[in-house]
Amino acid sequence: MTEGATLADPARVDVRGELSIGNDLWIDVNVVFEGKVSLGSNVSIGPGCVIKDATIADGAEIKANSVIEGAVIGANAQIGPFARIRPGTELAANTKVGNFVETKKAIVGEGSKINHLSYVGDASLGRNVNVGAGTITCNYDGVNKYQTVLGDGVFVGSNTALVAPVTVAAEATIGAGSTITRDVADHELAVARGRQRNIAGWEKPKKH
């Protein structure tokens, strides 16, 4: 507190290692710091967060109940609530990783967003990428791990499975509900899903 942090309740913060801080921080209740943690200036950490062996740059906001381990969080990034940032994740400035998102060994470029309900692992994302809800990088075949690469400005529709190894080049768009197994070139639209059929006169099953 004497170094520039404001604590909602000093009795409910647990430091289990080495913590260095900038100025004008806000740390809410029941936050746990483990290992070596560095916090920049104007960082805000919500209640119930666990932060281990991480570097968090100026202006970042870590929302409630998020877990960050072995990661680098860029300036003005927004994390959570209920996000899990696993080792090897590097988030550039002005990125967003939202509620119920998990990342692992993910390099995320400036301005990119993974807003909700997604898993992004063993992946490299360029600048200003938008990852829709329910997107999964299918990085593990049961034996080996593979990379997913998304270029600058890629838009990934909701409920997409990216089957690694796969590359989606700059400014490409993935239609919602797609399973992508082949590379996508610059500015292409990729749609990989079953064709919808509407059956007229359909009668719902009835209870016997």
Residue 111's identity, in one-letter code, is: G
Q: Are 11 and 17 in contact (CB under 8 A)?
A: no
Encoded tokens for 165: 């190894």
At 164, is the secondary structure helix, strand, or coil? coil
Sort strands 130-131 and 155-156 into parallel, antiparallel or unpaired: parallel
Where in 49-172 does DSSP place strands (E)? 50-52, 55-56, 61-62, 67-69, 72-73, 78-79, 84-85, 90-91, 96-99, 102-108, 113-116, 119-125, 130-131, 136-138, 148-150, 155-156, 161-163, 166-168
Rounded to 10 degrees, the C-alpha dihedral 132/133/137/141 comes to: -150
How far is the C-alpha of 167 from the C-alpha of 165, rounded, in Å?
7
Residue 116 known to be catalytic: yes
How far is the C-alpha of 25 from the C-alpha of 45, rounded, in Å?
8
The catalytic position among 31, 116, 131, 166 is 116
- Just list the catalytic residues: 116
